[in-house]
Amino acid sequence: MALSGGSTPRRLYELLASEYAGQIDWTALEVFFGDERAVPSDHPDSNFRMASEALLDRVPLDRERLHRMPADSGDPVAAAAAYESVLRERVASGPDGFPALDLVWLGIGDDGHTASLFPGTEALEERRACVVANEVPQLGTWRMTLTFPALCAARRVQFLVTGASKARIVEAIERARSSGDLERYPATRVVPREGEVEWLLDRAAAGKARGG
């Protein structure tokens, strides 16, 4: 599976590490990340640090099967290629030749980005690589991210969206989807070829879209 970064999944990760820990065979998991910031693993902005604090350091994962994205590497392009090699080595490819993760968790930003696939960035156009270093001018930084080929090869994608601050983008996406405009936001371009995509919203995030 691939874990989502950002702040939304923290509560889910904490629940998985506590109330639900006994229901999961942690040794069976191979854990990747959807994206990472260009910071060390102990930096407050690190997705790896957030996931480690909330979950990964609290459950009996096989650490050999936990794969942090080295987005702070001095050579992000080479580091992305190396991460892709591990992904391809550890995850069987589907009929389209891309590694088919069983489960990918994603969040969504106010601009409709997901992972580190931000509007107007080069990674949106990637059709071959599964992992790229993506320059994000609107943040003035680099990110490492899974690409649409990798995300769309997954067997199951779940967007986790909570909080009233997300109601506007959720409503905008529902409008775009109902008008068939799936290209408008990076998040709506995650359409698994074989698998399924689900949006898991709390009431606050779903508010406006449901006339709430």
Residues that bind ligand 6PG (CB under 6 A): 4-8, 34-35, 47, 107-109, 113-116
Closer residue to ligand 6PG (CB): 49 or 84: 49
CB of 25 to ligand 6PG, least distance (A): 26
Q: Which two tokens stand for residue 2?
A: 């691939």
CB of 90 to ligand 6PG, least distance (A): 21
Residues 6+ apart with CB under 8 A from 56: 31, 66
User: Of 72, 12, 70, 2, nearest to 34 (Cα)?
Assistant: 2
Closer residue to ligand 6PG (CB): 47 or 121: 47
Strands 104-106 and 156-161, bridge-based pairing: parallel
CB of 22 to ligand 6PG, least distance (A): 27
CB of 125 to ligand 6PG, least distance (A): 18
Closer residue to ligand 6PG (CB): 116 or 149: 116
What is 42-73 written as a DSSP string?
Answer: TSTT-HHHHHIIIIITTS---GGGB----TT-
Residue closest to ligand 6PG, measured at CB: 107
Please name the amino acid found at residue 91: V
